[in-house]
Amino acid sequence: MATRTANSRLTREYKSIRENPPPYIVAHPSEQNILEWHYILTGPPSTPYHNGQYWGTLMFPPDYPYAPPAIRMHTPSGRFQPSTRLCLSISDFHPKSFNPAWEVSTILTGLLSFMTSEEMTTGSVSATERERKWAAARTRWWNSTGGGTTTRQIPGISFSSNNRGVGTIKAGDGGAKFRAEWPELDEENWKWMKENKIDPATGEAVAESASTNSSVCSPEAAALRRRPVSSAGPLEAVVEGGQVARDVSQSWLSRHKMAVGVLLIFGYVLLARVLGNGTAS
């Protein structure tokens, strides 16, 4: 249970951060426990986390602000181990270095700054820029489905079932905890999944159904069926060149078949005479 000092301080800080939120940061305390705060960091531009929706928690001690909170980020980011306590100078790993003048906004600004750096600590992980961009693109899906453990479906899009989830953290709650703390964001996320045809079970975009009508096909397939008119590729040049050679050969024989026949007869007679003279001697 929070002390009177902690309760008064956190109430004041909530009012402050709600009225003047720092860039890319929103946060609020849980309705059941003022010591449990939930935050959303939006990935800043020019970073691999751009537009990512990173949800996490701050667990404050009862004697805050004289001791720092435990900091966790639940959404997979490629930067931190999900739902793992982070060792930072502003976290409970270093209570002696915590300054009581620091507020929730100070703590979250420091977390965002550390996230966008490459400094390593307990709870951080190494990943490529490509992997972090891939994770950023899946954050809204992950938050609202619990990593694919949701039972909610989208008509015409939900084709698979995945009770275990994809990259789920802890048991995978189907997004229930996120939905309880961020109901408006949750609905926005589901609207985004529907518009972009994201399968809630896998987080992957569902391809449009292929038409059974042979006269209708994708532009890519149609392009493969069209033969170039103005120029021929290497394989086509070889085939067409061979056909021209055969045509030339057949045309010459058809025009000179009589002469060829006379030459063959003359050669045969000459050969017979030579062989006959050899036998007589």
**79: Cβ–Cβ under 8 A, 6 or more apart, which residues?**
49, 73, 115, 124, 125, 127, 132
Cis-peptide into 228, omega within 30 deg? no
Bridge partners of 248?
A: none
Selecting among 26, 70, 87, 157, the annotated active-site residue is 87
**Structural contact between residues 86 and 123, judged by C-beta atoms closer than 8 angstroms:** yes
The answer to whether the Cα torsion of 230, 236, 241, 242 is positive or negative is: negative
Q: How crowded is the C-beta side of 73, counted as CA atoms within 13 Å? A: 26
- DSSP conformation letters of 196-256: TTB-TTT-PBPPPPPPS-TT---HHHHHHHSPPSS---HHHHHHHHHHHHHHHHHHHHHHS
Rounded CA-CA distance 191/257 in Å is: 80
Annotated active-site residue 217? The verdict is no
**Structural contact between residues 179 and 186, judged by C-beta atoms closer than 8 angstroms:** yes
Q: Which residues are catalytic?
A: 87
